[in-house]
A and B are shown apart, each in its own frame.
Chain A
Amino acid sequence: MILLLDLSYRAHSLSRDEFVGPVARIVGRAGWEWRETHFSEIRSDDLKDVTGIILCGTALKDNLFAARAQEFSWLRNISVPVLGICAGMQVLCLVFGGTIRPGCEIGMTTVRADTPDPVLPGSPAFPAYELHSFTCDPPRGWEVMAVSDSGVQAVRHPDRPLYGVMFHPEVRNEGVVERFLSLCKEKDR
């Protein structure tokens, strides 16, 4: 079971179909069961049968999740793989001691994968869709896997399967989500 976490400004918002829906379709097409929850509504029971978590993005002007980053502290103790997309990467950074600062990118950009990782596309540079108003300074010890001219594009925890991507893989980089899913336990498939 993959848990999709909606990080938008309220549960069942107009942003849901734009940022959770496309990720859900990739997960479903890859043969995984999934369910979604808004970050404000998550309970410990929601995590019991979960084998992977994807933190979805938000609208450009929607940064409520960052003001309420303390509500994601449960991520410090999570053992299953986590993929943070855009807002989700910002949450991972904040929870693990990194910071965010203004840094806007909109549209296609070239991402350079300096540190190869099975989750990223195999080529050293690839086009990716960006939609964010903040950029991340990753937590100490986290590896920077990819960058663009504007900042850090992909990070991973040094020891645990926790990944963050600043670009939106649901747009033209679906393989990133599919390869992340391959890190999750197979029992659901």
Chain B
Amino acid sequence: MLHGKGEIQEPERTSVNGMKLGVLCSGGKDSLFACYLAMQKEEVACLISVRSRNEESYMFHIPNVHLVPLQAEAAGLPLVTVETEGIEEAELSDLSRAICLAVERHGIEGVVTGALLSVYQAARIQRICRDLDLWCFNPLWYTDQEAYMELLIETGFRAVVTGVFSAPFDATWLGRMIDREALKDLKQYARKHRITLTGEGGEYETLVLDAPFYTKRIVIEESTEEYFNYRGILRVRRASLETK
């Protein structure tokens, strides 16, 4: 085939089960649902997580990213983690470093993201993958948001809201499960307040406690809430795994 260097060759396959992929994981519903989709088509070899110290990071979701190791354990997947100061653009080199580590440790041939609509995020990750000669997959890209949310619930994902950053979300949303009732409210908010149904505009953030590919589910044992003027965070202080 033709690739970035202009050579012609057939696609490479180094694993028996399919292409080995690393999933960029923030701990939220989009990255883990993208992981679920990738598992049905290729081989997910690891999760990749970037922990940012900057709460205003453009690229990386913040609330409760420290629970990604527990999610990886629940899913039985290895995890590659790096830390970043979260300075715009400089954090991209940290992401690149994380992906390089995943290549070295797990032989990944490509990266999966949960990007939905953000050209800003998607283009930057595409460039990193091009520079590293890796495939890049965005299975939720410009998906039908309502159908996606319905499928998320239908397939057994249990995602709770861990951050709200926009009107009209009140404090009761912190810790609320994304179920059919919540989706009904979100649809109403999307109509009346022009939020994106999936929270892609940064209106809310989630944490996935259970997924179809988890062998154990996460239980939040202790958490604290901060909320003021339509901005709030549920910080999980202690969590554990329980048998499903």
Enumerate chain B residues within 8 angstroms of A30, measured Cβ to Cβ.
none
Query: Which residue of A17, A62, A101, A108 contacts B143 across the interface (Cβ within 8 Å)?
Result: A17
Per-residue interface assignment for chain A, residues 105 to 138, with 1 indicating a CB less than 8 Å from any chain B CB and 0 otherwise: 0111000000000000000000001010110000
B37 with A133: CB separation less than 8 A: no
Contact mask B192-235 → A, CB, 8 Å, 1/0? 00000000000000000000000000000000000000000000
Q: B127 interface residue, CB < 8 Å from A?
A: yes
A22 on interface, CB distance cutoff 8 Å: yes
Task: Output the residue of A59, A100, A104 with the most chain B CB within 10 A.
Answer: A59
| Interchain CB contact under 8 A, A61 and B3 | yes
* Complexed CA–CA distance, A17 and B38 (Å): 11
| Contacting residue for A171 out of B1, B19, B142, B143, CB 8 A | B142
Q: Which of A13, A18, A108, A172 has the most CB of B within 10 A?
A: A18
Q: A25-B144, A66-B2 are in contact. Are A171 and B119 (CB under 8 A)?
A: yes
Contact of B58 with A by CB under 8 A = no
State A144–B129 Cα separation when bound (angstroms). 31
**Contacts known (A14-B137, A61-B134); A67 close to B143, Cβ less than 8 A:** no
Shortest B221–chain A CB gap in Å is 36
Q: Mark A14-46, 1 if CB is under 8 A from B, else 0.
A: 110110011001000000000000000000000
Question: Are B4 and A133 closer than 8 Å at their CB atoms?
Answer: yes
Chain B binding surface, main DSSP class: loop
Please tell me if B242 contacts chain A, counting CB pairs below 8 Å. no
Within 8 A of B (CB), among A128-154: 129, 131, 133-134
Would you call the interface of chain A mostly helix, strand, loop, or mixed?
mixed
Instruction: Give chain B residues whose Cβ lies under 8 Å from the Cβ of A21.
Output: 141-143
Given contacts A14-B37, A61-B3, contact A170 B135 (CB under 8 A): no
Bits for B1-41, please: 1 = Cβ < 8 Å to A, else 0: 11111101111000000010000000000000000011001
Asked if A163 is at the interface of the complex by the 8 Å CB criterion, the answer is no
Verify if A78 is at the interface (C-beta below 8 Å from B): no
C-alpha spacing A100/B2, complex, angstroms: 10
- Which residue on chain A has the smallest CB distance to residue B141? A18
Contact with A along B116-146 (1 / 0, CB 8 A): 0001000100110110011111111111100
Which B residues are CB-close (under 8 A) to A131?
126
Question: Which 9 A-B pairs give the minimum distances between C-beta atoms?
Answer: A107-B123, A22-B142, A63-B2, A14-B41, A64-B1, A18-B141, A102-B6, A66-B2, A67-B1
Instruction: Write the residues of chain B forming the contact surface with A, with a CB cutoff of 8 angstroms.
Output: 1-6, 8-11, 19, 37-38, 41-42, 110, 112, 119, 123, 126-127, 129-130, 133-144
Point out residues on A near B: beta carbons under 8 Å: 9, 12-15, 17-18, 21-22, 25, 59-64, 66-67, 100-102, 104, 106-108, 129, 131, 133-134, 170-172
